[in-house]
Structure 1
Amino acid sequence: MENFFVDDKEVSEKLLSEEGPLGGFDARIKMAYALGLISPYEYHDLLIIHSIQKTFLKEMTGIKFSSDPIRLNCFRLRLPREILLPGETQTPRRLFVFVNAFLTQQFTLRAMQAVQEKRIPRDNFMLVDID
């Protein structure tokens, strides 16, 4: 996302710092989608990944990919249904790892593309052009 922002390191750092408005994973997912940087399926799956991560962090012990809340969320991921072959073994853990790896690769490429689409600040407002 930072590659897409205007060249203002101070503003970017304030937005993306832990305490900033885009400091959390959830806020970054929503902003990336709102800016059109990710697809609806990617948005959907990122929200599920975030939910799975929060469940693991909250429970810490006794939670596994075979546990109902995790397992059910893994099977709700959309990208595997679009990409994987129907006969492939799809365990919750494999689905989670696959989507994470796929999205990491996609977003690495998009980060390079975002540099080409980098935002440029608008010109300052002028009431009358004297030149």
Structure 2
Amino acid sequence: MSFEGVEMQIFVDEFEKELEGQSDRGLVIVGAAGLDVVLEGLLSATLNDEVKREAMFGPNGPLGEFSSRIKMAAGLGLISRDERRELELVRRIRNKTAHEVNATLSTDALRDLCMTLVLGRRLYAPKVIPLAEFPGGTRGIPHDFDDPRVVIPAVDLTLPDSSNPRSVFAASVRVLLRILVARTATAPDKKSPPADFMHPEEPLEHSMTQVSSQLKRAEALLEQMRQLRDRLQENGRPVAEQNDDISDLEAVSQKLKAMQQFADYSNEVIRRSRRSNLEQQ
């Protein structure tokens, strides 16, 4: 499922209501399903529009499973290490629960897994935030948060019933839903497909851009190392170690230059040959 930002926020708000009143097994299965859907939305936000949703996220697609979506989101740098760990724990709890009709989160195995979830406790905030109090006793949302006449209430950021595995699991699902919405809002722009290569010299030409960048970095670092060595020499300090490092980096630089030179030559030969063939046609 693909979402725009507001649509995803509405989905999460409505989905959280679905979590209420569920059995332990229902809470786990429904909670994991919601995370799965929002995770798909996060990944969809980074794919170019020409990629067919069904081909990627359908049952037979490479991102058709909860586990593959978690791995891809982590691999693309869309979620943090802790978020990946938490999602993996939710997946494991879901898998264990799905195979037991009467599963409860109070059994030892499931309880232990639930109690290793951390984000629900670390990022807990109450769902209902009380309104500020204005002079005269009225309540509302102030325009100026620093107005000394307005009393902004404090809220308890400690997860209630934090020793209860059900409470911990539900809190982690709610927090993960909010996190994935936030990650989607700041996800990199969708990438357009790259232009097709039209000429035989272009793949190598593009590949060598990275070599050129490495060469520039190596040359800049060499200059810094030489300057440092010269300053040490002026102060009568030993420079044998610096000379060894410089020699090693000079060897790397020479290899990069040779690669660049050969690639430039190869591309020039190909380019001239291509143009010659065009002229003869």
Smaller-chain TM-score range?
A: 0.7 to 0.9
Equivalence for 2:30 = none
Q: Aligned partners of 1:87, 1:20: CA distance in 2, in Å? A: 38
What RMSD in Å do the two structures reach over aligned CA positions? 2.2
Measured at CA, do residues 50 and 79 of structure 1 come closer, stay the same or move farther in structure 2, by a change above 3 Å?
Answer: same
**Could you tell me how far 1:93 is from its partner in structure 2?**
0.7
Matched, 1:112 2:185: yes
Aligned residues: 127
Tell me whether 1:93 sits opposite 2:166 in the alignment: yes
- TM-score between the two structures when normalised by the length of structure 1: 0.84
Taking the aligned partners of 1:110 and 1:41, their CA distance within structure 2 comes to: 14
Q: Counterpart in 1 of 2:16? A: none
2:181 and 2:190 map into 1 onto residues whose CA distance is 15
TM-score (norm 2): 0.41
Greater RCO, 1 or 2 (C-alpha within 8 Å, sep 6+): 1
Q: Would you say the 8 A contact 1:45–1:78 is kept in 2? A: yes
Q: Superposed, which structure 2 residues align to 1:21-100 within 5 Å? A: 21-61=62-102, 63-80=103-120, 82-84=122-124, 88-90=160-162, 91-100=164-173
Q: Which runs of 5+ in 1 are unaligned?
A: none
* Identical-residue share of aligned pairs (%): 31
In structure 2, what residue type is equivalent to 1:52? Answer: I
Residue 42 of structure 1 aligns to which amino acid in structure 2? E
Deviations 1:86-105 (A, max 9, x none): 68531111111111111111
Following the alignment from structure 1 to structure 2, what is the Cα–Cα distance between the partners of residues 106 and 8? 27
How much has 1:78 moved relative to structure 2?
Answer: 2.7
Point out where structure 2 has 5 or more consecutive residues left out of the alignment: 1-42, 125-156, 203-274, 276-281
* CA 1:58–1:122: 2 relative to 1, 3 Å: same
Asked if 1:7 is matched to 2:49, the reply is yes
Find the structure with the greater CA-based Rg.
Answer: 2
Residue 113 of structure 1 aligns with an amino acid whose one-letter code is T
